[in-house]
Structure formats: C-alpha cells, structure tokens
Amino acid sequence: MENITLQPAKAEIIKQAKAYITALFEEKLPRQLVYHSPKHTATVVKEAKALGEAAGLPEADQEALVLAAWFHDAGYTEAYAGHEYRSMELAATWLRQQGYPEERIRLVQDLIRATCHTEKPETDLQRLLRDADMSHMGREDFFANAELLRTEWEVMLGKTFSNEEWAEMQLDFLTSIKFYSEAGKARYKEQFKENIKAQRELLKKAEKKKKKKQEEEAGNFAEGKRGVETMFRATYDNHNTLSQMADSKANMMISLNSVILSVLITYFGAKTSTLGASTFTRNPILAVPMALLVATALGSVVTAILSAQPDVTSFKWLKKSPQVATNRRVNLLFFGNFTKLSLDAFQEGMGELMANKDLLYNNMITDIYYLGDVLAKKYRLLRISYTIFMVGLILVAFSFAIVLLYKS
C-alpha cells in the first residue's frame, strides 16, 4: 500500500518542481549563463533519473535525487559564486511550502551540497547526483559544452583563455576528476576515455600551432616581414613628405620677405621720389614702422633660410674605433656617415649588415632617428620665422596707426 500511494505523490511533486524551476529560470536566470542554462539542468535531471534507475534506488530516494537535480543550479538566479548554498535555501523554502517532510528536505539539501566541487560526496545518493552534474565529461557533447562554459566565464568572470590555455586546462580537469558511483562509471566510462584522448590531441594541435607561430615571429626579419617593411616604408615616406612641406614653407617665406626687402631697399635708395628721402625729413617718426618692417623681413628670411639650408648629420670616425657596423651611432645607409669611411671599411660594414638582421634594422632605425632630428630643427626654425613675421607685421601695423594718430 505504501508504494501505491507514494508513486502519485512522487510524480506530482517532481512535476511541480519542474514547473517552478522552469518559471524561475525564465524570470531570473541571467541570459549570459549559456552553459548553466535550463538545458543543462534538464540534462542533469535526465542523467540523474537514468543513474538512479541503473542503481536500483527505492522510489523515495529516486524522488529526492530528481528533486535535488532540479534545484541544484537554482542559486544561479541570485549568485554565481557559491550558488549551491543559495540553491539549498531555495529548495528548502519551496519544499516547505509544498508540505514536504523536513527530514526529506534535509536530504535534498545534502544532495545539492554534494554538487559543490569543494565537497566530497559521501553517500550513494550524493555520488549519483555528483556524477549526473558532471556527466558532460563522459558524453559526446563534451566539447560543445566546454566552449559554452568558456564563453560564460569570459562574460561572467572576465576570464579569457587562448586556445592552448583552454585545451591544457580542460585536459587537467578531465584527468583530475572521476565518476564516483558504479552506475556513473559504467554509463560514462568509454566516452570519458574518448574525450580525454581527443582533448590530448587538441592540446597537441594547439601547442604545435603556437610553436609554429613563435617560429614565424622569431624568423629572420631581414628576409622581409611585410609588417616591418610596411612600417619602415611608411616612416620614410612620412619623413620625406614632412621635409618637402618644410622646404616649401621655407621657400615661401624666403620669396615673400625677399620681395619686401627688395621693395624697401629700392624705396630707400631712390634719390628722387614723390615720397622719397624728403618724406622722412618732414616726418622722421615714419622711420619707426619702416625700421620694424625691415627688421621683421630680415629676421623672418634669415630663419627661413636656415630652415631650408641642407643639414647633413655626420660622425667622427677613427681607425682605432671598433667595427663601424656595430657602432649604434653610425648609419651606413646615409651618405653623411659612410662618406667619412674608407671604401674598405664601408664594404666591410655593408657586408656585416647584409648578414645580420639586427645590425641592418639598427641602421635603418638610426637613419630614421637622424631624419627626425633634422626635421625637428627645420620645423623649429620655420616656426620662429613665421612667428617673427606675424609679430613683426602686428607691430608695424600698430606703429603706423600710432603715426597716423600722432599726425592728426
């Protein structure tokens, strides 16, 4: 008679638990939990039923096992870390509302606690639920589930892994766990071995791929890595463009101020003019703005000429010095340096460059450095030229305005 009354109660309580958990997950479970999802819980329930039946559990224990399977991840609706203990509380609260016996509630809680990785399952029921929760390790969908867990950890915990790191961690996990129940060992043993074997193969492939990448990165840069070549080409082009722009701006200032000076010199040198020298005799105060204009044009043109003047970097080489190719301050690719060398020294240095990737790129880097140094001087002088011209014109304009006010 006891079995006849228990079966309907079991079916009803489990059906109600399923409906409650399904609604709870739909309402509160974070969508970022792509592994610990309703599907995972349903799978654990399915595996728990199968393991319980294989173990020949009494109906009451089977009921407790399945109820614990439904509630074992309910705590994820409120917490990620330590969710098992929130699952225990949620299960106890709901079961009490259903009038479930208190001793059976404690049993369900003990089963849920056993799913925590820091706990060691001690009873047969705990071993069965632990195996059901870890059943993905011995199923064919292990690798698909592992990628879901990887994604979930990246989103929820901020943990990111390279393919090699993930493969290594998964292999360590597979080789460190075990199935506790006899029913679990029998159900998952063969596929579990296959998963370990496949994971080792994945790790070997990941390590091989990483090694190949390291070998490519450690290859001979002098053979022409596209990224390095692009960088140097773009840098040289930028330096040349900036140098042409500086020379163009300097030539513009030279031309403009040369015209101004030519006009002023012609004006001052005219012996006869409607506004000739007699003008300054009658209005000596006009000499102030005219002098400012001459000084402005002269200062601006001088600094512009200095900016456009060729600047060749060089070095002092002594025959007692060490090999030129290894001298970090020498650039054998620039005529300002190598023309100071003898032909033999230059040929020897170039031979070393072509045979040594580090020396080759060191010389190219040195060349870029000195090009930048020359550009810095050009633009500094050019900035001074433009500043003198701008400030000078302002002062000239103010001085003419003062002269006009004075005359009026």
Q: Which residues, including other chains, have CB under 8 Å from residue 216's CB and lie 6 or more apart?
A: none
The pLDDT tens digits of the residues spanning 187-214 come to: 999 999 999 999 888 888 888 887 777 7
| Mean pLDDT value of segment 236-255 | 83
| Mean pLDDT value of segment 99-125 | 92
Cβ–Cβ contacts within 10 Å for residue 138, how many?
24
Return the pLDDT at 313: 52
Q: Which residue has the higher pLDDT, 2 or 277?
A: 277
The pLDDT tens digits of the residues spanning 290-340 come to: 888 888 888 888 888 888 777 655 544 444 444 544 555 556 666 656 666
Q: How confident is the model at residue 106 (pLDDT cuts 50, 70, 90)?
A: very high
Return the pLDDT at 54: 93
Return the pLDDT at 97: 93
Return the pLDDT at 273: 52
Q: Which residue has the higher pLDDT, 238 or 285?
A: 238
Return the pLDDT at 162: 83
Question: Three-state SS string across 333-367, please?
Answer: CCHHHHCCCCHHHHHHHHHHHHHCHHHHHHHHHHH
**Which pair of structure tokens corresponds to residue 190?**
């063969």
- Rounded CA-CA distance 270/266 in Å is 6
Return the pLDDT at 281: 54
Q: Which residue has the higher pLDDT, 324 or 372?
A: 372
Closest CA to 70 of 99, 55, 49, 101: 49
Return the pLDDT at 19: 94
pLDDT above 80 (res 244): yes
List C-alpha distances in Å: 99 to 9, 104, 112, 297: 12, 11, 19, 102
- Ranked by mean pLDDT, the top range of 83-87, 235-239, 293-297, 345-349 is 83-87
Return the pLDDT at 103: 93
pLDDT above 60 (res 224): no
Q: Which residue has the higher pLDDT, 271 or 170?
A: 170
Domain ranges within the chain, ordered by starting residue: 1-133, 135-180+188-218, 226-407
Q: Which residue has the higher pLDDT, 337 or 51?
A: 51
The alpha-helical segments, DSSP class H, found in 29-141 are 38-55, 59-71, 83-97, 102-113, 124-133
Q: Quick check: 336 and 314 in contact, CB under 8 A?
A: yes
Q: Which fold has domain 1-133?
A: Hypothetical protein af1432 (1.10.3210)
pLDDT above 60 (res 55): yes
| Mean pLDDT value of segment 380-390 | 89
**From its phi and psi, is residue 224 left (phi > 0), alpha (psi between -120 and 50) or beta?**
left
**Which pair of structure tokens corresponds to residue 351?**
């031979």
Q: How confident is the model at residue 22 (pLDDT cuts 50, 70, 90)?
A: very high
Return the pLDDT at 16: 94
Q: Which of 226-230, 321-325, 371-375 has the lowest mean pLDDT?
A: 321-325
| Mean pLDDT value of segment 376-383 | 87
Q: Which residue has the higher pLDDT, 86 or 372?
A: 86
Q: Which residue has the higher pLDDT, 392 or 316?
A: 392
Q: How confident is the model at residue 91 (pLDDT cuts 50, 70, 90)?
A: very high
pLDDT above 90 (res 133): yes
pLDDT above 70 (res 163): yes
Return the pLDDT at 325: 47
DSSP for residue 73: T
Return the pLDDT at 338: 65
